[in-house]
């Protein structure tokens, strides 16, 4: 997908997605590495940005693209080290309408990055810059490159044209082919302290959901009430994403455009909504999985410093008291299997129903 949805990010509506390197205080070690390369004029031709938060990775890639093409950058000598975050080039990149910054995302139907998308990217990258110093291509969720697309990308990834940078983003680097990994310089944006970060709204939901799981007599009817709560949360999440991304769509900013372009934007919007929904659904289920991990750790009598949600200890204690260590470990396997199923074409409600009914609570 092209750049119309470079701003298809964020868990909640954000009125101003703009930022510079200085706005990533938890990532200063990785930022320092990038800025050192900028200062020395030794940027890699291809980067792999990894971390738990794909939103943050997109923000970092966008900031690097702005710094390279900023008209009034913050400098050290002659080298640009950060963007001004305010010039025309920066604003264009923020609003996803810069001709020389391209974004590729998984397609809606296949949930993969196709060989056709990669071939279009290769063609575009090989053209001379239209209005900038650098051409930048960002591949969001690069773990979704199918085998054909990955293989078609290898030569360009190894030897891209001069004054061009390829940035691959993923929260699941283990899913990438070794041939892709070996051609990129990897920067990890896990953040200082190394702890996994959870979206506050997911934690707020988990507080209520965990309390419901801890209720006594988890019979069949109770399980279906839990399923209903899960599906209601996901429906609200998808509606929120739809509202946010629709408001950012060029469909809301431009009138009287070619019908074919309107159709393209509509397809991009649908794909962006679906991709962002699947990402946030995975984050929500991962949050639940880490809560179940706390239950398992409680059964093992592990140090409280290792738990993810110490503030939810009451529900964890209640559930751990009525299941065995083997059952607690099985719950983690159930959530892993549910996540794998949801990456296929299985019906969402069916996969969640099977998973929630199998949990031992």
Return the number of other C-beta atoms located less than 10 Å from residue 269's C-beta. 22
Class of domain 3-188: alpha beta
Pull the structure tokens for residue 164: 């061009």
Which has the minimum average pLDDT: 43-47, 67-71, 145-149, 216-220?
216-220
| pLDDT recorded at residue 291 | 92
In degrees to the nearest 10, what's the CA dihedral of 34, 166, 163, 134? -80
pTM as predicted: 0.60
The tens digit of pLDDT for each residue in 224-277 reads 888 899 999 999 999 999 998 888 888 877 777 788 888 888 888 888 888 888
Question: Which residue ranges make up each domain of the chain?
Answer: 3-188, 200-358
Strands 79-82 and 74-76: antiparallel
Cβ-contact 213, 319 below 8 angstroms: yes
For residues 278 and 171, give the distance between their C-alpha atoms in angstroms, rounded to a whole number.
13
pLDDT, residue 1, reads 33
Residue 65 pLDDT:
93
Residue pair 328/286 in contact by the 8 Å Cβ criterion: no
Q: How many CB atoms lie within 10 A of CB 214?
A: 20
- Predicted pLDDT of residue 100: 92
pLDDT value of position 351: 92
| CB 132 within 8 Å of CB 41 | no
Q: What is the pLDDT of residue 178?
A: 84
Per the CB < 8 A criterion, the answer to whether 20 and 85 are in contact is yes
- Give the model's pLDDT for residue 233: 93
Q: Token pair for residue 166?
A: 């390829």
Instruction: Give the chain's end-to-end CA distance (angstroms, integer).
Output: 43
User: How many CB atoms sit inside 10 A of residue 297's CB?
Assistant: 18
- The yes-or-no verdict on residue 16 having pLDDT over 60 is no
User: Over 90: is that where the pLDDT of 344 sits?
Assistant: no
d(CA 95, CA 9): 12
What is the chain's mean pLDDT, rounded? 84
Q: What are the beta bridge partners of residue 76?
A: 79
The first and second tokens of residue 266, run together, are: 């509509």
Would the pLDDT of 305 be above 70? no
- pLDDT at residue number 108: 66
Q: From CA 169, how far away is CA 165, in angstroms rounded?
A: 13
- pLDDT, residue 25, reads 77
């Amino acid at each position: 997908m092209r750049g119309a949805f470079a701003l298809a990010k964020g868990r909640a509506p954000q009125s101003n997605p703009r930022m510079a390197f200085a706005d990533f205080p938890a990532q200063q070690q990785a930022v320092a590495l990038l800025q050192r390369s900028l200062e020395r004029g030794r940027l890699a031709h291809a980067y792999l940005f990894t971390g738990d938060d794909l939103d943050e990775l997109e923000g970092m890639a966008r900031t690097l693209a702005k710094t390279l093409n900023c008209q009034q950058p913050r400098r050290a000598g002659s080298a640009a080290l950060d963007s001004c975050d305010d010039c025309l080039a920066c604003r264009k990149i923020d609003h996803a309408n810069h001709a020389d910054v391209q974004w590729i995302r998984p397609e809606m139907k296949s949930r993969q990055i196709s060989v056709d998308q990669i071939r279009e990217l290769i063609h575009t990258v090989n053209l001379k810059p239209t209005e900038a110093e650098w051409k930048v291509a960002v591949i969001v969720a690069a773990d979704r490159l199918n085998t054909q697309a990955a293989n078609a990308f290898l030569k360009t990834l190894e030897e891209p044209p001069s004054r061009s940078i390829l940035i691959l983003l993923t929260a699941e680097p283990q899913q990438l082919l070794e041939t892709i990994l070996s051609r990129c310089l990897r920067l990890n944006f896990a953040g200082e302290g190394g702890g996994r970060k959870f979206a506050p709204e997911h934690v707020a939901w988990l507080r209520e959901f965990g309390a419901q799981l801890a209720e006594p007599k988890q019979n069949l009817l109770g399980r279906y009430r839990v399923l209903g709560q899960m599906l209601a949360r996901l429906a609200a999440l998808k509606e929120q994403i739809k509202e946010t991304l629709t408001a950012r769509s060029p469909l809301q900013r431009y009138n009287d455009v070619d019908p074919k372009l309107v159709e393209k934007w509509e397809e991009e919007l649908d794909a962006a909504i679906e991709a962002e929904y699947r990402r946030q659904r995975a984050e929500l289920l991962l949050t639940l999985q880490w809560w179940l991990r706390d239950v398992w750790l409680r059964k093992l009598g592990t140090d409280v410093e290792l738990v993810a949600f110490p503030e939810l200890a009451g529900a964890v204690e209640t559930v751990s008291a009525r299941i065995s260590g083997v059952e607690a470990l099985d719950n983690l396997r159930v959530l892993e299997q549910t996540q794998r199923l949801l990456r296929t074409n299985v019906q969402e409600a069916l996969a969640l129903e099977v998973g929630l009914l199998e949990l031992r609570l």
